[in-house]
Amino acid sequence: MAENAPPHPRVVFETSPDQYRHWTLDFPAEHGGKVARLLLDIPEDGGLRPGYPLKMNSYDLGVDIELADAVSRLRFEHPEVKALVFESKKDRIFCSGANIYMLGTSTHAFKVNFCKYTNETRLGLEELSEFSGVSSLAALNGTASGGGYELAIACDEIVLQEDGSSAVSLPEAPLLGVLPGTGGLTRLVDKRKIRRDLADVFSTLAEGVRGKRALEWRLVDEAPSKAAFAKSVSARLAKMTERSKRKSFKALKLNPLSPERTENGIAWKYVTLALDRAARSATLTVRAPIEREPSTPDELASRGDKAWIVQAFRELDQALLELRFNEPLIGVVGLHTTGSAENVLAVDAMLEAHKDDGLVNEVRLHVRRALKRLDMTAKSFFALIDEGSVFAGTLFELTLAADRSYMLDQDGITIALSASNRGAFPMGNGLSRLESRFLGEPERVARVLSLEGPIDTATAQKEGLVTFAPDDIDWEDEVRIAFEERASMSPDAMTGMEASLRYGGPETMETKIFGRLTAWQNWIFQRPNAVGARGALTLYGKPERPEYDFNRT
């Protein structure tokens, strides 16, 4: 089915609470403004494209775009919030998960990127709790199935109403022949530490598990009666706000970015995406600040979302999402930088000196998430360090995130490191990008971080900080051939290769989720048992039964 799916309309990732169609963000008076509430009420005609009614609070990408926006605004615009609760406006249904007809009529690439985006959003919710001091509670006043339960287990606590019908479930395997986004399975055993045998039973029960048993199996944290439900939820939120360690700061409003679009690219203030669709390649340029940036948290708050470190990485995040969802044929991306290295290093010094400040902490986490988005984007990234480049400090993380790098061997071409490269923006494996780069030579990390001043090409290559160093005679041909060769290779092979190579070292829940998503989900979503003419996803909602090829592979 995916092969014959209609083209997807261009996805727009910018939104705001006054534009939400699916969520209502409010702040219940009973908790004195310390609790934010996200109420889910998805209209059936609220899909990103026609053809699938969003019944029973089932969702598509548009719902998660709003959720990601809401969480970002809680980070920056509502520093007074210390807890977050998810509820449903619909009776006896919390969320029935990703809309099956949406999945069944989507291209393969869209399905996989959809799963990836939802997992990134849920990991952001978990990061909000761990590093920002805002715990979250899923208040299930009805059934939570599939992605609805995945949202719940991304929260710190789950309260399920015991009313004889409300249940939690991950029904994808028995009903659709696919997996629950892979994040669901991983969180069951890694986060909630459900026994393997119980998780096995739970993940193959289409009808799910209700109140008492869900509590016994630790699928939820409390299962009060309908009469006691509101009181239990309120009590847990009160405890969350009491134990929160969130630091106060002046709110920072996130305004629209409003890029300029042309047929062959998108231009924001600091980030430009130029597309060469015929060559299946793109150029992503990040401009460093050309004027003095804030040097204290107060100045940062005053500059607001116009501060370079905030705006540039919001733009980078959008550019990466544009590449994923709106430019599926682009295979290779050249990373460029321009501007003032001195100004970037000054910003890095401010971030390090004030890292314990509440607003600075949120900014650092914001940069960290954008860089992780690059790590998990299924495109080949080549960093190109030549005349005018500013791969310094935070921007050098782009080089470290790239699959390979080319640095022109010419006088005046340099890179620079800063405190930001010491681990301010760890990868999903918990290591800095330098630590990941030098897994086999950990002593190199301290050595390269001790290098003073700008680092020239010869030193950069000697110290393993770049891949290749062509001279000015060979530069153009070597880079051109590298792009052409990469664009000619199988995108399936490249996606698998890159995902395998980008995450060395320790395994974490995050690397498990994305590793399995890249491999298992990518594979399962193409198998006839799921999407063939008689596959379970294809026939969902129809009277015919799916037909499986029972060969185990």
Whether the per-residue pLDDT at 2 is higher than 90: the answer is no
Predicted local confidence at residue 503, as pLDDT:
85
- The answer to the question of residue 530 being in a domain is no
My answer on whether 288 and 410 are in the same domain is yes
The answer to whether position 545 is within a domain reads: no
Residue 463 lies in a domain: yes
pLDDT of the residue at 3: 44
Identify whether residues 92 and 144 lie together within a single domain: yes
230 and 138 belong to one structural domain: yes
Give the up-direction half-sphere exposure of residue 261: CA atoms within 13 A in the CB hemisphere.
9
Domain boundary among 243, 269, 292: 243
**Average pLDDT value for the chain:** 95
- Rounded Cα gap, residues 127 and 446, in angstroms: 28
On whether residue 476 sits in a domain, the answer given is yes
Q: Are residues 210 and 293 in the same domain?
A: no
Residue where the block lists tokens 């598990």: 209
Phi and psi (nearest 5°) for 441?
A: -140, 65
Q: Specify the DSSP class assigned to residue 315.
A: H
Q: Are residues 285 and 232 in the same domain?
A: no
| pLDDT tens, position by position, 182-212 | 799 999 999 999 999 999 999 999 999 999 9
| 531: in domain | no
Q: How far is CA 222 from CA 109, 195, 243, in A?
A: 38, 18, 19
Whether residues 346 and 472 share a domain: the answer is: yes
CA distances from 382 to 297, 406, 446, 479 (A): 34, 7, 25, 9
Same domain, 236 and 268: no
pLDDT in tens, 485-528: 999 999 999 999 999 999 889 999 999 999 888 888 888 889 99
Residues with Cβ within 8 Å of residue 94, at least 6 apart in sequence:
40, 57, 86, 87, 88, 138, 140, 141, 142, 143, 144, 148, 152, 166
H or E stretch covering 374: helix 358-375
Residues 6+ apart with CB under 8 A from 97: 58, 59, 145, 146, 147, 148, 149, 150
The range of the structural domain enclosing residue 332 comes to 260-494
Task: Single out the residue in 474, 494, 514 at which a domain terminates.
Answer: 494
Q: Over the stretch 374-389, which tens digit does the pLDDT of each residue have?
A: 999 999 999 999 999 9
Residues 182 and 303 grouped into a single domain: no
SS3 assignment, position 271: strand
Strands (E), 386-463: 404-407, 414-415, 455-456
Tell me the C-alpha distance between 15 and 105, whole Å: 25
Question: Are residues 189 and 275 located together in one domain of the fold?
Answer: no
78 lies in a domain?
A: yes
Claim to verify: residue 362 and residue 443 sit in the same structural domain: yes
- The DSSP 8-state label assigned to residue 409 in this structure reads B
* Total number of domains constituting the chain: 2
- For residue 364, being part of any structural domain is answered with yes
In one letter, which amino acid is 429?
A: N
* Residue 148 domain-assigned (yes or no): yes
CATH code of the domain in which 217 resides = 3.90.226.10
Say which residue the tokens 């690439």 belong to: 109
Q: 279 and 205, same structural domain?
A: no
pLDDT in tens, 72-124: 999 999 999 999 999 999 999 999 999 999 999 999 999 999 999 999 999 99
Are 340 and 481 in the same domain?
yes
**End residue of a domain, out of 494, 522, 541:** 494
